[in-house]
Amino acid sequence: MKVVNLKQAILQAWKERWSDYQWAINMKKFFPKGATWDILNLAEALLEQAMIGPSPNPLILSYLKYAISSQMVSYSSVLTAISKFDDFSRDLCVQALLDIMDMFCDRLSCHGKAEECIGLCRALLSALHWLLRCTAAFAERLQEGLEAGTPATGEKQLAMCLQCLEKTLSSTKNRALLHIAKLEEASSWTAIEHSLLKLGEILANLSNTQLRSQAEQCGTLIRSIPTMLSVHSEQLHKTGFPTVHALVLLEGTMNLTGETQPLVEQLMMVKRMQHIPTPLFVLEIWKACFVGLIESPEGTQELKWTAFTYLKIPQVLVKLKEYSHGDKDFTEDVNCAFEFLLKLTPLLDKADQRCNCDCTNFLLQECNKQGLLSEANFANLVAKRAADRDPELKSSENANIQPNPGLILRAEPTVTNILKTMDADHSKSPEGLLGVLGHMLSGKSLDLLLAAAAATGKLKSFARKFINLNEFTTHGNEFTTHGSGESTKTASVRALLFDISFLMLCHVAQTYGSEVILSEVSTGAEVPFFETWMQTCMPEPGKILNPDHPCFRPDSTKVESLVALLNNSSEMKLVQMKWHEACLSISAAILEILNAWENGVLAFESIQKITDNIKGKVCSLAVCAVAWLVAHVRMLGLDEREKSLQMIRQLAGPLYSENTLQFYKERVVIMSSILEHMCADVLQQTATQIKFPSAGVDTMPYWNLLPPKRPIKEVLTDIFAKVLEKGWVDSRSIHILDTLLHMGGVYWFCNNLIKELLKETRKEHTLQAVELLYSIFCLDMQQVTLVLLGHILPGLLTDSSKWQNLMDPPGTALAKLAVWCALSSYSSHKGQASSRQKKRHREDIEDYISLFPVEDMQPSKLMRLLSSNEDDANILSSPTDRSMNSSLSASQLHTVNMRDPLNRVLANLFLLISSILGSRTAGPHTQFVQWFMEECVDCLEQGSRGSILQFMPFTTVSELVKMSAMSSPKVVLAITDLSLPLGRQVAAKAIAAL
């Protein structure tokens, strides 16, 4: 008999009562041309015939079951066929369909092309929708039955339905396939959500608790599908987090002027990567602040720390509150953190002793003011701390000494007032302005105000105002009244305003870095005098000045008149004096005077008179003179330096004569501090001592930290060993490490510390070493990451003699560190580098463009390469075809800038990983790649676009899945870019094959 179509063949088999295997043999005879049964819709045809009557046809159903078992039909075609049946009143038919689903719903697979795998995802989504509709229909009937008094059968049917639903959803693989389907077909997912809501309403009235809880469990599983990747277990077994501690210490010690946003993002990054619970995270921030308060050196550093703790950190927490979208929860977490903190009584008592006040109380008030604590919690915490405090502390608190936290909190509004005052027109009331500035100079007011301004982000505008004031005083004619010439009083006010603004700006530049002073110069705008002087003439660490530079050689007539003025008159005249010109001419004048002294033309007495004249009225002249002398001394041989150093000594000592200008003592204090900073390098080189007067406490606490005559590598390994033993990085170590990074360079620094990490053999030690190293690398994370991922890792992975270094535990630790660095750099490099990193002297690690060349391919070939996957046999077949470009996904071709060094390094690293996985040699390096990828998955933030995994070639996915540890559906979802159709295909194919 000739069979025309499928329907006829099925009917004939039924009429002749063929057995299932007979039917299969005959079908293959009827359709010999290698027909694929899915194209002929065999599953749908069989179901259609089987479901014609009120009850299903058992013989035709046996054919379908045989077709499924012998894989004549694909799972997706069966699921799609089932989901088209919608007459739920035919109980026996629905029951038969549920039986068929039960055969395979927990072991779905597909080994075909990517399109077929995506088809399976879609079919599963349709089947889920069908199951929900079916459950709802049975639940409604059960309710009606209960009202009619016939419950038993209805409950049995509903239980069957829920059982099938639960079996389908309990498989992670199925949920992963549904996750992909949801992204493929958003509208179908919306329909599922509606069905779920409807089902919930129907089942809410159900009296059978077992069925109700079973349904709720299914609902929870369905709702968890979109967030499959964001569930991470938090670390609850640890209480200390050295990375957070070190990050806070690093910012407080070296980057008070930095903006809060980058710090918040970095802290959030660490919190996410290390899965730190919020209360312990906030606690660690407070602990670091108190440690900083206790160990910060006296003077400016102590004030900076106080400002950081009481002004900046509360602002950081306010921003962290915005990140964690539940206000109530976050305030509860802050309260919980304080509860933990109050248990650390010795730490708090030590801080109180150091600051001479109840530090915690000030902090609680500030947090309460910022809305980080509720009133009830605030009162409770204050009372607890008052009860716990050491009674001796209360009695020893000296009421006459005002504690720094209180001063800093009061200084903050004062900064705003001073900024307003300085906005007024200077020419109208210069004396009034002088009064305000004079008040700022007294005691530690200036440092308090600057610290408060730095911590609240106002320092830049503060500096701008002083630059404008300084610039204003250089135009002497604005002070004169109606062309009648300048009076002595006006001249002295002008000299003082120039001097105070000049000294304050020098002090700010030395304390907080010169980039705070520099303005964003618009083209054509005139650069203010102070900025010009600072950039060309002011000595700073790591900046070498040329004493013969044209900036030190102004107009010779002006120099001659200045030399004459200094040499002849008994003291400097103020009227009509142009101070900025004098400051620029003084270097050349000093050179003349020094030459005259060295050649015996001038005696030492004359030199004394000249130096007294220089520092007699304005201290700025002495500062400019010493700035040039420092540059000059550097260029001289040791035996030629005597007279220059003697001159510095002369200029450093104050002059107390009767007719010096107002605020002289206060100005000398600032001058001494400025000169000490300027001369420190030269004095250290020449082993010369100069006593700088009235600087009071040690103004340079972190100076000269490296032990003399020891190789810096030894110093590095020693300091790291100490930090590791201690378990946290203190601010002194941070400064030593920063100095070593400057001296040895990024590659040397990173390479030697990685060697130390690879020597560790105990698991807990290596994990702690990673946390500490990551925080140390934050000194210059961008550059360290380039070196680590671009040089050190490829070196270890490609050299088989080094593979033994990658064994567990150090190998796991290095993989973790590499991922943390990569993620941090990648998430932050779109923003600006911090001011701390900007001022670091850049070394050329290598030109990354020549190091990692991108072939200039034709766009058409490139697009073909990028939009490929394993189904295209010819793609990436030869190693030479594996250009860097092929590692990017198609969406990135236009969005990722491959001229960016970090992007190039990441793309190359993932190409290397891909080739290691594809090669035939396994070893510790293969294991390392697995750890690296596992860490990437572990640190992944759900839904974050722009993860480093976008640099991974799609072909890597199928290679990774072959490794047992990586062969989980969640891992595949995590490592593929599901926002792209191609990414979804690759993921579906990999998961369906598991």
* pLDDT band per the 50, 70, 90 thresholds, residue 838: very low
Q: 969, exposed or middle or buried, with CB in 10 Å at 0-12, 13-18, 19+?
A: buried
Residue 784 and residue 273: Cα distance in Å, rounded?
Answer: 18
Give the per-residue pLDDT at 833: 47
Percent over 90 (pLDDT), the chain: 11
* pLDDT band per the 50, 70, 90 thresholds, residue 649: confident
Residue type, 360: T
Higher pLDDT, 147 or 224: 224
Tell me the average pLDDT across 189-199. 86
Sign of the C-alpha dihedral, residues 856, 859, 861, 862?
positive
* pLDDT band per the 50, 70, 90 thresholds, residue 857: very low
- pTM for the model stands at 0.80
Tell me the average pLDDT across 668-692. 79
Q: Is the model's pLDDT at 271 over the cut of 70?
A: yes
Residue 309 DSSP one-character state:
I
* pLDDT band per the 50, 70, 90 thresholds, residue 866: very low
* pLDDT band per the 50, 70, 90 thresholds, residue 3: low
Give the per-residue pLDDT at 928: 87
Q: Is the model's pLDDT at 35 over the cut of 60?
A: no
Residue 979 DSSP one-character state:
T
* 44-74 residue pLDDT tens: 888 888 888 888 888 888 888 888 888 888 8
Give the per-residue pLDDT at 993: 82
Instruction: Answer yes or no: are the C-beta atoms of 873 and 823 closer than 8 Å.
Output: no
Choice among 166-180, 326-340, 656-670 with the minimum mean pLDDT? 656-670
Higher pLDDT, 717 or 950: 717
Buried b / exposed e along 801-819 (16+ C-beta atoms within 10 A)? eebebbeebbbbbbbbbbb
Tell me the average pLDDT across 537-552. 78
Kindly list the distances between the CA atom of residue 671 and the CA atoms of 507, 621, 622, 652, 856, in Å, as whole numbers in the listed order. 8, 10, 8, 8, 58
* 735-759 residue pLDDT tens: 899 989 988 889 999 999 999 998 8
> Domain segments of the chain: what residues?
6-225, 242-388, 550-657+669-686, 712-831+846-851+889-952
Q: Is the model's pLDDT at 697 over the cut of 50?
A: no
Sign of the C-alpha dihedral, residues 611, 614, 619, 623?
negative
Q: Is the model's pLDDT at 558 over the cut of 60?
A: yes
Tell me the average pLDDT across 771-780. 91
Which positions ≥6 away from 226 have C-beta within 8 Å?
179, 182
Nearest to 364 by CA among 400, 326, 317: 317
Alpha carbon of residue 199 to chain centroid? 44
Tell me the average pLDDT across 757-763. 85
Tell me the average pLDDT across 842-851. 46
Instruction: Answer yes or no: are the C-beta atoms of 886 and 831 closer than 8 Å.
Output: no
Choice among 389-403, 628-642, 798-812 with the minimum mean pLDDT? 389-403
Looking up tokens 């500062």, which residue turns up? 623
Give the per-residue pLDDT at 654: 73
Higher pLDDT, 847 or 416: 416
Q: Is the model's pLDDT at 835 over the cut of 70?
A: no
* 475-534 residue pLDDT tens: 755 555 444 556 778 888 888 899 999 999 999 998 888 888 887 766 566 788 888 888
Give the per-residue pLDDT at 721: 92
* pLDDT band per the 50, 70, 90 thresholds, residue 150: low
Nearest to 845 by CA among 761, 907, 902: 902
Tell me the average pLDDT across 642-665. 79
* 867-905 residue pLDDT tens: 444 444 333 333 333 343 444 444 454 456 767 788 888
Which positions ≥6 away from 856 have C-beta within 8 Å?
none
Kindly list the distances between the CA atom of residue 605 and the CA atoms of 241, 595, 611, in Å, as whole numbers in the listed order. 63, 15, 10
Instruction: Answer yes or no: are the C-beta atoms of 695 and 669 closer than 8 Å.
Output: yes
Q: Is the model's pLDDT at 354 over the cut of 90?
A: no
Tell me the average pLDDT across 115-129. 89
2 — phi, psi (to 5°)?
Answer: -95, 125
Q: Is the model's pLDDT at 546 over the cut of 90?
A: no
Tell me the average pLDDT across 431-452. 84
Tell me the average pLDDT across 276-291. 91
Sign of the C-alpha dihedral, residues 415, 420, 426, 431?
negative
| Residue 218 in tokens | 């299914």
* 204-233 residue pLDDT tens: 777 778 888 888 888 888 888 887 776 655
Residue 672 and residue 686: Cα distance in Å, rounded?
Answer: 20
Residue 965 DSSP one-character state:
G
Tell me the average pLDDT across 786-813. 86
Q: Is the model's pLDDT at 858 over the cut of 60?
A: no
* pLDDT band per the 50, 70, 90 thresholds, residue 625: very high
Average model confidence (pLDDT) across the chain: 80
Highest mean pLDDT among 651-655, 721-725, 826-830, 837-841: 721-725
